[in-house]
């Protein structure tokens, strides 16, 4: 019990800490932050249930006014803004990632975790992000997808990194990778 | 850690947090149901007045929080200039700024402890359904304490990298960073258990 609570809390803090790393610009000028890498790691390392709880805990702290989102953003305003859909997608994405890693037991963990991060961390998160953007800004789903598309390559890189990191973590601390416990 | 609550005291700081959150929910629902320019313009003006009333310093701090959405405002304005659908564009931009502005007002006038009291009020009845609300409160405290610790450890790892290489550390330090976080989680869990676990923390609080 205590270990689960501390792991969930530490991963919520990890999402926040990764968001504070300054964003790096991709070749074509789109800034990417490490924050969504944290969300992916919650799913691949903690599994579906605890990974989702860690992301929800992080969002709860953002909602009550801590500036933990990348760029020092936070408070209730971010849940009313045009990118609120992505915040809704984060816990659901973490759940899908965790479930995928838990169910796919056969094969290379780096490949499975990377694939899971692409399904949950990109397909699911962008689905909610684009629908949310479309709702707040009144733009069609097609137009919203076009606007968000430049950010996808950065997230593909992060999904691959999440896969490699998960396998390395499983070698370093097998008992802590709860999705494989 | 610095919270986004404004240090400038306003009358709204005294209002109960639950009432402010409920009012915000109602206001946001109304904003999204109004589809014409006039009510959106009135709501926007009302929101601006609420920021100006406590004084220029409060308004400036509020502006700093709300201006993060300006790239989206520019995008939508350009879009509607191209499509020549001006009224719809105005409604969308006004609604977006007002919704974010009002939500940010609640954040600026409500302290962290008041929010946590609201969370406790909401989660306590859920204990009957198996939610460990005392675990949630310990978890909130742990995140607040551990975020700066992790940031500091990440900084230490970057310095160690820089001392040995001329290249950027990049994503390679995320692995040792995460391993450290996992080890910290284990140490803290042991420390919590040694002090009687989450159950003991709860009973101490109630004494």
CATH numbers and ranges of domains, chain A:
2-177 (1.10.1760.20)
pLDDT at residue A24, rounded to an integer: 67
Chosen for mutation from B147, B155, B187 (greatest number of chain A CBs closer than 10 Å) is B147
Q: Is B202 on the interface with A (CB under 8 A)?
A: no
Q: Write out pLDDT tens, residues A150-169.
A: 889 889 999 999 999 999 99
**CB-based contacts of B118: which residues, under 8 Å, 6+ apart?**
B17, B18, B21
Q: Write out pLDDT tens, residues B73-128.
A: 888 888 888 888 888 888 888 998 999 899 989 989 998 888 888 888 888 887 77
pLDDT at residue B67, rounded to an integer: 83
Chain B nearest CA to A16, separation (Å): 7
Task: Return d(Cα B3, Cα B182) in angstroms, integer.
Answer: 26
Q: Note the ipTM here.
A: 0.88
- Smallest Cβ distance to A6: which of B91, B100, B185? B185
pLDDT at residue A11, rounded to an integer: 93
Residue B30 phi/psi, 5-degree rounding, is -65, -45
Q: Is B123 on the interface with A (CB under 8 A)?
A: no
B80's enclosing H/E stretch is helix B70-83
pLDDT above 70 coverage of chain B, percent: 95
Q: What is the mean pLDDT of residues B165-183?
A: 84
Q: What is the mean pLDDT of residues B37-41?
A: 90
Give the dihedral of Cα atoms A86, A90, A96, A98; nearest 10 deg: 160
Angle, vertex CA B157, rays to CA B155 and CA B158, nearest 5: 65
Is B169:B158 a contact under the CB 8 Å cutoff?
yes
Task: Return d(Cα A146, Cα A130) in angstroms, integer.
Answer: 9
Is pLDDT at B9 greater than 90 in this prediction?
Answer: no
Chosen for mutation from B148, B185, B199 (greatest number of chain A CBs closer than 10 Å) is B185
A-chain residues near B102 (CB < 8 A) = 80
Strands (E), chain A: 24-25, 31-32
Q: Write out pLDDT tens, residues B50-59.
A: 999 888 888 8
For residue A65, give the DSSP letter: T
3-state SS, residue A24? strand
- B207 pLDDT band (50/70/90 cuts)? very low
Q: Which residue of A has its CA nearest to B104?
A: A77
Note whether A64 contacts B5, CB cutoff 8 Å. no
Is pLDDT at B199 greater than 80 in this prediction?
Answer: no
Q: Write out pLDDT tens, residues A27-82.
A: 555 667 788 999 999 999 999 999 999 999 999 999 988 888 887 788 888 888 88
Phi-psi category of residue B170: left, alpha or beta, with phi > 0 → left and psi -120 to 50 → alpha:
left
Report DSSP letters for B147-175, one per residue: HHHHHHHHHHHHHHHHHH-SS--GGGGHH
- B2 pLDDT band (50/70/90 cuts)? low
Task: Return d(Cα A51, Cα A11) in angstroms, integer.
Answer: 8
Chosen for mutation from B67, B116, B161, B171 (greatest number of chain A CBs closer than 10 Å) is B171
pLDDT at residue B155, rounded to an integer: 87
Choice between A155 and B200, residue whose per-residue pLDDT is larger = A155
B-chain residues near A20 (CB < 8 A) = 151
Q: Write out pLDDT tens, residues A101-155.
A: 999 888 899 999 999 999 999 999 999 999 999 988 888 899 889 888 888 988 9
Q: What is the mean pLDDT of residues B192-203?
A: 75
Cα separations in angstroms, B175 against A46, A161, A166, B171: 15, 10, 9, 8
- Which pTM was predicted? 0.88
Residue B5 phi/psi, 5-degree rounding, is -65, 135
pLDDT at residue A30, rounded to an integer: 62
Chain A nearest CA to B118, separation (Å): 10
């Amino acid at each position: 019990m205590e270990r689960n609570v501390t792991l969930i809390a530490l991963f919520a803090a990890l999402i926040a800490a990764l968001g504070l790393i300054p964003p790096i610009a991709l070749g074509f000028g789109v800034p990417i932050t490490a924050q969504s890498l944290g969300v992916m790691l919650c799913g691949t390392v903690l599994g579906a249930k605890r990974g989702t709880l860690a992301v929800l805990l992080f969002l709860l702290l953002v909602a009550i006014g801590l500036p933990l989102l990348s760029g020092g953003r936070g408070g209730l305003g971010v849940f009313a803004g045009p990118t609120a859909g992505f915040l809704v997608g984060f816990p659901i994405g973490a759940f899908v990632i965790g479930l995928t890693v838990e169910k796919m037991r056969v094969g290379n963990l780096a490949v499975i975790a990377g694939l899971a991060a692409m399904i949950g961390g990109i397909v699911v998160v962008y689905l909610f992000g684009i629908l949310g953007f479309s709702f707040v800004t009144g733009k069609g789903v097609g137009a919203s997808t076009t606007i968000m598309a430049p950010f996808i390559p950065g997230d593909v890189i992060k999904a691959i990194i999440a896969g490699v990191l998960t396998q390395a973590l499983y070698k370093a601390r097998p008992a802590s990778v709860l999705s494989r416990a | 850690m610095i919270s986004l609550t404004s240090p400038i005291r306003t009358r709204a700081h005294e209002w109960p947090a639950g009432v402010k959150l409920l009012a915000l929910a109602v206001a946001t629902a109304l904003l999204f149901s109004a589809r014409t320019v006039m009510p959106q313009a009135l709501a926007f003006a009302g929101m601006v007045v609420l920021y100006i009333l406590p004084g220029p310093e409060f308004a400036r701090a509020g502006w700093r929080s709300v201006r993060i959405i300006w790239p989206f405002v520019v995008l939508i304005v350009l879009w509607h200039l191209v499509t020549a659908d001006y009224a719809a564009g105005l409604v969308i931009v006004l609604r977006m700024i007002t919704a974010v502005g009002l939500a940010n007002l609640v954040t600026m006038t409500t302290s962290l402890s008041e929010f946590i009291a609201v969370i406790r009020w909401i989660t306590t009845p859920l204990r009957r359904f198996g939610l460990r609300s005392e675990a949630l409160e310990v978890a909130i405290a742990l995140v607040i304490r551990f975020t700066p610790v992790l940031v500091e450890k990440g900084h230490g790892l970057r310095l160690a990298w820089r001392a040995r290489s001329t290249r950027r550390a990049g994503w390679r330090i995320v692995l040792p960073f995460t391993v450290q976080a996992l080890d910290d989680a284990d140490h803290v869990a042991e420390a919590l258990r040694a002090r009687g676990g989450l159950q003991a923390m709860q009973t101490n609080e109630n004494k």
